[in-house]
Amino acid sequence: MFNKILIANRGEIAVRVNRTAQALGYRTVAVFSDADREAPHVHASDEAVRLGPAPAGESYLNTEAILEAARLTGADAVHPGYGFLSENAAFVSACSENGITFIGPPAHAMELMGSKRRSKDAMAQAGVPTVPGFQSTATDPSPWQKAADDIGYPVMIKASAGGGGRGMRLVHEPSALADELARARSEAESAFGDGELILEKAIVRPRHIEIQVFADQQGNAIHLGERDCSVQRRHQKVVEEAPSPFVDDSMRQAMGDAAVKAAQACGYVGAGTVEFIVDEARNFYFLEMNTRLQVEHPVTEQVTGLDLVELQIRVAQGEALPLAQADVGIQGHAIEVRLYAEDPAQGYMPQTGPLHRWRPALGDGIRVDDGIREGGAVTPHYDPMIAKVVAQGPDRTSARMRLIRSLADTVLLGVTHNAWFLARILGHETFAAGEATTAFLDTEFLGDPSLSPLEPTTAEQALAALLLYRAGSTGPLEAHAGWSNSLPSACPILLTTGEHQQWVRLTSQQDCIDAQIGETRHQLRIESLEANELVVTLDGVRQKSQYQIVGSTLYCHAKGRTLRFVDATHAPARRADEQGSGDVRASMDGAVVEVSVTEGDRVQAGQTLAVLEAMKMEHPLKADRDGEITGVRVSTGDQVRTRQILMSVSVDASRDEENSNDE
């Protein structure tokens, strides 16, 4: 038995491994970087040791610091999670040299499978079907050219040491091959420190289907069925499920047998995943083996009832697998989605930002693996995946319905994320029919609104205006018990969403509030207003929404969409650019009713310079920096347009004078 398990990872996977380790009765040790001092994985463990500064190279990838943490705490086993050092054979050896058990496969299996070239050769030799291709250490293009002609275009160039979907190139014609090879080689060199390449036939409209395998030190090896991970962006998975809607019993058995053969061929121990690419005719080909726990392992746990981390620990301790192939049963269906801090509307660009509110929606059949906390932040240092939401049900449709519902109710306010995008995928007819291939997101899904900047509906704008008005007029909403459905007078609110600005005019009606947006009107009645939750009857339908107000920014979650609005009603006049040219612009279309300064006046930030009237309300335009007024271009009574420059505030020239007086 181990004494103590050190978890050499962070985020959701560190929390998840810790949960099982503690449930089995072990003491646990977390490690953390300066960016993660208060992270959930640190709090969940029994002890924790600082590794170093935030960058992964100085913390979670720092072998010496991790071994020192084990020494310091007396940990005699290390679970690497996934990513970071989990597939680093040198780390496995370093652990064993220090008398620490690495919970994972032996270094030699990891080394073999870490090379796409060597592993494909080994698999072909073991009789496992591989993608038709060419593996060579030759750098001269001619054998590659000949191989590509034999394989047939299009072909895929891959970095042999690649991973995470990076370093792949699709080549459609012979004329482009030599150039692409050269480019791929230098890219692989800089990204993975190894320029070795492989060539593969590019399978058209394929599915990614992988088999979970398990082997013990006694030589037993089994598989736990498949996971379908065909929904990918940039060759990276976003939705995974078990079982695959494409796989029947005989195919499962054939793929399972091939995967077990692959594990045995490399002397595998512990949990591993054999990835296959499957063509339209259901031929399957070995892609690679991941020698670790996989991000998407929960779907296998949900349909087999097994705890894969428990099995990993038992096998690492020398116990035999507690079940044989015939004991593995698959029940029901499970689907996982990866919640990422990323913007699907900007090419899935990773996002950083605060986590003001995080309320995952649990419910029947829902499992959420997360490692974030309210008040924390997504930093630029690590992977942007923030949580996984998994739903299970007796069949695929019920799992899918539950997951859509859970995603719609999952509240994550602050950083931009992909929850709505994920729900739209699950609701898409191609996915619903079980027909998604790896091409799905770039083809059938392409026109989906979740791939464009969110355009708020007028109902969402009405809700936002109501919340921002209440916050602005009463201070923190939660402190204000006596809210009512009447307003002192007509209240125009200027909402900013992205590049878009919109006026919402709120007025009192008998016992509700009327919101007017252009030609559209909505009737709102506040039923209750508490810290972060508004219950409102909107056009006759009572509904809930969650929100958070930070300064003049409102984060609002309603009906599965998360929006961010800024109250620009009283915003100081905008400057022309981020550097601050000092230009004072009209915040809306309206009439200038007052000009309070003249050329040459010295003003301070926050001082009112002019007053604009629009929608029956006066809006002060304020200076947003200290300086001197120049270029006044308007006078009282002028009609102005949104963003029109009214005057400028130049850098305060008097400061230099003061300085010279001091001398």
Give the footprint of ligand ADP on this chain (CB under 6 A): 9-13, 81-84, 131, 156, 162-165, 168, 200-203, 206, 208, 232, 235-237, 275, 277, 287-288, 290, 294-295, 383, 385, 438
- Residue 138 CB, shortest distance to ligand ADP, in Å, is 20
- Residue 206 CB, shortest distance to ligand ADP, in Å, is 5
**Residues between 256 and 275 that touch Mg ion (CB under 5 A):** 275
Considering the complex, state which of residue 169 and residue 417 has its C-beta at the smaller distance from Mg ion: 169
Q: Are 416 and 553 in contact (CB under 8 A)?
A: no
Q: How far apart are CA 258 and CA 32, in angstroms?
A: 39
Pairing state of beta strands 627-630 and 645-651?
Answer: antiparallel
336 interface partner picked from ligand ADP, Mg ion, none, CB below 5 to 8 A per type: none
Considering the complex, state which of residue 275 and residue 624 has its C-beta at the smaller distance from Mg ion: 275
235 interface partner picked from ligand ADP, Mg ion, none, CB below 5 to 8 A per type: ligand ADP
For residue 401, which amino acid is it?
Answer: M
**Residues between 571 and 600 that touch Mg ion (CB under 5 A):** none
Instruction: State the DSSP H helix or E strand holding residue 402, giving kind and residue range, or none if neither.
Output: helix 396-409
Considering the complex, state which of residue 89 and residue 131 has its C-beta at the smaller distance from ligand ADP: 131
625 interface partner picked from Mg ion, ligand ADP, none, CB below 5 to 8 A per type: none
Q: How far apart are CA 254 and CA 276, in angstroms?
A: 12
Query: How distant, in Å, are the alpha carbons of 171, 177, 343 from that of 163?
Result: 19, 22, 22
Considering the complex, state which of residue 275 and residue 628 has its C-beta at the smaller distance from Mg ion: 275
- Residue 655 CB, shortest distance to ligand ADP, in Å, is 49
For residue 360, which amino acid is it?
Answer: P
**What tokens were used for 220?**
């037993």
Considering the complex, state which of residue 240 and residue 343 has its C-beta at the smaller distance from Mg ion: 240
Considering the complex, state which of residue 436 and residue 467 has its C-beta at the smaller distance from ligand ADP: 436
- How many H helices and E strands in the chain? 16, 38
Considering the complex, state which of residue 275 and residue 336 has its C-beta at the smaller distance from Mg ion: 275
**What tokens were used for 367?**
């499992």
Number of residues that bind Mg ion (CB under 5 A): 1
Judged by DSSP in three states, 197 sits in strand
- Residue 277 CB, shortest distance to ligand ADP, in Å, is 5
Q: How far apart are CA 5 and CA 73, in angstroms?
A: 10
Match 């040299």 to its residue by tokens.
97
**What tokens were used for 357?**
């509110």
Considering the complex, state which of residue 215 and residue 385 has its C-beta at the smaller distance from ligand ADP: 385
Considering the complex, state which of residue 162 and residue 492 has its C-beta at the smaller distance from ligand ADP: 162
Considering the complex, state which of residue 263 and residue 419 has its C-beta at the smaller distance from Mg ion: 263
Residues 6+ apart with CB under 8 A from 255: 209, 211, 226, 247, 276, 284
- Residue 288 CB, shortest distance to Mg ion, in Å, is 5
- Residue 338 CB, shortest distance to ligand ADP, in Å, is 8
502 interface partner picked from ligand ADP, Mg ion, none, CB below 5 to 8 A per type: none
Residue nearest to Mg ion (CB): 275
Q: How far apart are CA 273 and CA 258, in angstroms?
A: 12
Considering the complex, state which of residue 165 and residue 375 has its C-beta at the smaller distance from ligand ADP: 165
294 interface partner picked from Mg ion, ligand ADP, none, CB below 5 to 8 A per type: ligand ADP
- Residue 388 CB, shortest distance to ligand ADP, in Å, is 9
| Dihedrals phi, psi of 445, to nearest 5 degrees | -90, -5
Q: How many residues does the chain have?
A: 663
84 interface partner picked from ligand ADP, Mg ion, none, CB below 5 to 8 A per type: ligand ADP
206 interface partner picked from ligand ADP, Mg ion, none, CB below 5 to 8 A per type: ligand ADP
Query: How distant, in Å, are the alpha carbons of 47, 384, 566 from that of 352?
Result: 28, 8, 19
Q: Using the Cα atoms of residue 344, residue 346, residue 347 and residue 352 in order, give the sign of their dihedral.
A: negative
For residue 214, which amino acid is it?
Answer: F
497 interface partner picked from ligand ADP, Mg ion, none, CB below 5 to 8 A per type: none
Considering the complex, state which of residue 87 and residue 583 has its C-beta at the smaller distance from Mg ion: 87
Q: How far apart are CA 550 and CA 118, in angstroms?
A: 54
Considering the complex, state which of residue 277 and residue 412 has its C-beta at the smaller distance from Mg ion: 277
Q: How far apart are CA 478 and CA 531, in angstroms?
A: 4
271 interface partner picked from Mg ion, ligand ADP, none, CB below 5 to 8 A per type: none
CB neighbour class for 485 (10 Å; exposed up to 12, middle 13-18, buried from 19):
middle
- Residue 297 CB, shortest distance to ligand ADP, in Å, is 8
Judged by DSSP in three states, 22 sits in helix
Nearest alpha-carbon partner for 323 in 433, 171, 214: 214
Q: Are 263 and 246 in contact (CB under 8 A)?
A: no
- Residue 275 CB, shortest distance to Mg ion, in Å, is 5
- Residue 259 CB, shortest distance to ligand ADP, in Å, is 14
| Dihedrals phi, psi of 330, to nearest 5 degrees | -115, 120
Match 């981020």 to its residue by tokens.
578
- Residue 207 CB, shortest distance to ligand ADP, in Å, is 9
10 interface partner picked from Mg ion, ligand ADP, none, CB below 5 to 8 A per type: ligand ADP
Residue nearest to ligand ADP (CB): 83
Considering the complex, state which of residue 216 and residue 275 has its C-beta at the smaller distance from Mg ion: 275
277 interface partner picked from ligand ADP, Mg ion, none, CB below 5 to 8 A per type: ligand ADP
82 interface partner picked from ligand ADP, Mg ion, none, CB below 5 to 8 A per type: ligand ADP
- Residue 361 CB, shortest distance to ligand ADP, in Å, is 21
| Dihedrals phi, psi of 196, to nearest 5 degrees | -60, 140
Q: How far apart are CA 343 and CA 415, in angstroms?
A: 10
Stretch 275-314: interaction string toward Mg ion, x if CB under 5 A: x---------------------------------------
Q: How far apart are CA 233 and CA 235, in angstroms?
A: 5
Pairing state of beta strands 590-595 and 561-567?
Answer: unpaired
CA angle 126, 129, 130 (to 5 degrees): 105
**What tokens were used for 235?**
């060759």
- CB-CB neighbours of 365 under 10 Å: 20
Q: Are 354 and 377 in contact (CB under 8 A)?
A: yes
Match 């007796």 to its residue by tokens.
394
11 interface partner picked from Mg ion, ligand ADP, none, CB below 5 to 8 A per type: ligand ADP
Report DSSP state, residue 344.
Answer: G
- Residue 152 CB, shortest distance to ligand ADP, in Å, is 12
- Residue 84 CB, shortest distance to ligand ADP, in Å, is 5
- Residue 391 CB, shortest distance to ligand ADP, in Å, is 19
Considering the complex, state which of residue 231 and residue 260 has its C-beta at the smaller distance from ligand ADP: 231
Residue numbers of the site for Mg ion (CB under 5 A)? Answer: 275
